[in-house]
Amino acid sequence: MSAPRQGKTRDTEADTANAGAQEPAEVNSKSVRLVSDSDTSKKPIGKADARYWQQKGRFVVDRRSRFLCCKIQVRGRRESFPLRTANKTTAAAKAALIYGDVIALGWDAAMLKHKPDETPVTSGKVGALIIAVTELADVRPVTLAANVAAFRRIVGDIARVEATESRYAPSGAKRTARLAAIDAVPLEKITPAAIEAWKLAFVTARAAGGEDKARAARNSANTFLRSARSLFSKSLLRFLGERVVLPSPLPFEGVQFFPRQSMRYAGGFDVAKLIEKAHSELGQESEHAEEWKALLLTLFAGLRRNEADKLRWQSIDLAAGVIRIEAHGDFSPKAETSLGEVPINSEVAALLRGLRAREPKAVYVLAGTTAKRGVNYRHYRAAATFERLVAWLRANGVESKTPIHTLRKEAGSLVCQSAGLFAASRFLRHADVAITAQHYASQKDRVTVGMGALLAPAPSANVIPFTEPQPASRDEKQKATRRA
């Protein structure tokens, strides 16, 4: 092959090679643009990447040292880490490293590595959670104790901790041992699935007694769930992560309540006969004066047991016919809406005036012991009076589980019948009129469709209506005698 032709051939081969090298770039040009640097920068950057921390607002400046700090939140727990540098680039690298250690090693190991001088967070046990909630929750001691008891009840059933009658005792070795066993249960074992299984088992175990028992069990299960779930409320979760290792997901995450069961008050006793008998048996005997006063306060004023128990004479305006529910040293209302004035009939005011005259120096309306403050259970000064009143009510037709509270329900129903639902809600001092409608409004009036006359038998032409024979008059009797 001649030299010129050979050179031309080499040029052709080179052109072909170059064309082959460029061809993939043309074919995959879209792919190249998709992974370009400009597109990558638009994708979210993870916290394990230093570039995430270099963004505006990711650091907090320590006013004393001027060093940078970062805040990391993982699995519901949030911690602040000092980075001991004012250089943003260096601080970003440290923050990314800390975040990576939290994900890879867990909170405890990461805390020991990056904050060895800090007090370690307590383990994720039920007892540690209860201690933290007790220190952080802004609720009444009685409410907190009820919420903690509900959570322990659920945990004890899930963990199969032996449940004996001793769990209801205020103290004792068996109770202490049971609480210790429950408090040692890891929170990670109290999963939403475990709580869902507990909920169904709780109702199934009681459903054998009939549908009425099953309905009551659903209401009870909802009460336990609602109380126990409050230990993981949003207001507490903001701080619990700094005290306790919380599981993910949280125990009650996604757990649903049973559909609301009707708890509408349906009456069940003749209130007029009850009042008549109470007036003759309790109101006329000085030895039953305390039960009589308790009945007047709970039925005619619709007071709750604790409100009647802590009511002072100075809170009753007999001239105006008003009882004022006021907070004082020995009484804390159920809710702020529970405070207010309750009107009473003039006849009730007259009876209370006479009872007041018998004990002019008494502070409280009901006689009783000294009120206990700061306890985590409901203490009643007049407990003995309430026990005697409950026995009397049950002996006279009020057979409900809570006879004294039934008097309040009856009062609310009577007000609802005469003045309407809104007036009943105000009388009972409910936060929402829906509560009155769901629980207390009993239908007293006899209401029918009014078409019963259509069911009367149609008259027939072959049937002679029967009429009662009328007694003969005096003239008719004389005429009959003459004919005879």
Domains in the chain, start-ordered, CATH in brackets?
50-114 (no CATH), 126-240 (no CATH), 271-440 (1.10.443.10)
pLDDT at 374: 73
Q: How many CA atoms lie within 13 A of 424 on its CB side?
A: 25
Supply the pLDDT for residue 223.
93
Determine the Cα–Cα distance for residues 231 and 246; give it in Å rounded to an integer: 12
Distance of CA 19 to the CA centre of its chain: 75
Whether residue 238 contacts residue 127, with contact meaning beta carbons closer than 8 Å, is answered with no
Per-residue pLDDT, 221: 93
Residue 361, judged by CB atoms within 10 A of its CB (0-12, 13-18, 19+), counts as exposed
Q: What is the mean pLDDT of the chain?
A: 82
360, 314, 406, 273: CA torsion to nearest 10: 50
Helix (H, G, I), strand (E, B) or coil at 452: helix
Mean pLDDT of 293-319: 94
409: tokens are: 């329900």
The rounded distance, in Å, linking the Cα atoms of 206 and 211 is 9
pLDDT digit string, tens, across residues 109-165: 888 888 876 645 556 899 999 999 998 888 888 899 999 999 999 999 999 988 766
Q: Do strands 68-74 and 77-82 pair parallel, antiparallel, or not at all (unpaired)? A: antiparallel
- Amino acid identity for residue 257 in this structure: F
Say if residue 17's pLDDT is above 60.
no
pLDDT of residue 380: 92
SS3 467: coil
Give me the mean pLDDT over the 278-283 stretch. 91
Task: Give the per-residue pLDDT at 416.
Answer: 87
CB 97 within 8 A of CB 218: no
* Contact status, residue 317 vs residue 324, Cβ threshold 8 Å: yes
> How confident is the model over 338-376, as pLDDT tens digits?
899 999 999 999 999 999 999 999 999 999 999 888 777
10 pLDDT band, cuts 50/70/90, is very low
Average pLDDT for 321-327: 93
Give the contacts of 371 (CB within 8 A, at least 6 positions apart).
310, 330, 331, 379, 381
Average pLDDT of the segment spanning 89-101: 93
Q: What's the CA dihedral at 330, 335, 341, 342 to 10 degrees?
A: -100
pLDDT of residue 391: 95
For residues 178 and 165, what is the distance between their CA atoms, to the nearest angstrom? 11
Model pTM greater than 0.75?
Answer: no
Band of the pLDDT at 169, cuts 50, 70, 90? Answer: low
The pLDDT assigned to 378 comes to 85
Neighbours of 226 (CB within 10 A): 13
pLDDT digits (tens, 9 = 90+) for 198-235: 999 999 998 888 888 888 899 999 999 999 999 999 88
- Work out the average pLDDT over 35-61: 76
Of 423, 419, 295, the closest CA to residue 366 belongs to 295
Could you give the CA distance from residue 61 to residue 91 in angstroms, rounded to a whole number? 11
Using alpha carbons only, what angle is made at residue 128 by residues 77 and 73, rounded to the nearest 5 degrees? 5
| DSSP assignment string, 176-235 | HHHHHHHHTSBGGGS-HHHHHHHHHHHHHHHHTT-HHHHHHHHHHHHHHHHHHHGGG-HH
Q: How far apart are the first and last CA of the chain?
A: 172
In terms of Cα–Cα distance, which of 378, 382, 380, 405 is closest to 289? 382
pLDDT in tens, 384-423: 999 999 999 999 999 888 999 999 999 988 888 888 888 8
C-alpha count within 13 angstroms, C-beta hemisphere, residue 312:
11
Structure tokens at 379: 């203490």
pLDDT at 170: 64
Of 74-78, 149-153, 441-445, the one with minimum mean pLDDT is: 441-445
- Among 6-10, 54-58, 258-262, the least confident range: 6-10
Q: In this structure, are residues 89 and 95 in contact, taking their beta carbons and an 8 Å threshold? A: no
Segment 17-43 mean pLDDT:
43
What the block records as the tokens of 205 is: 């175990």
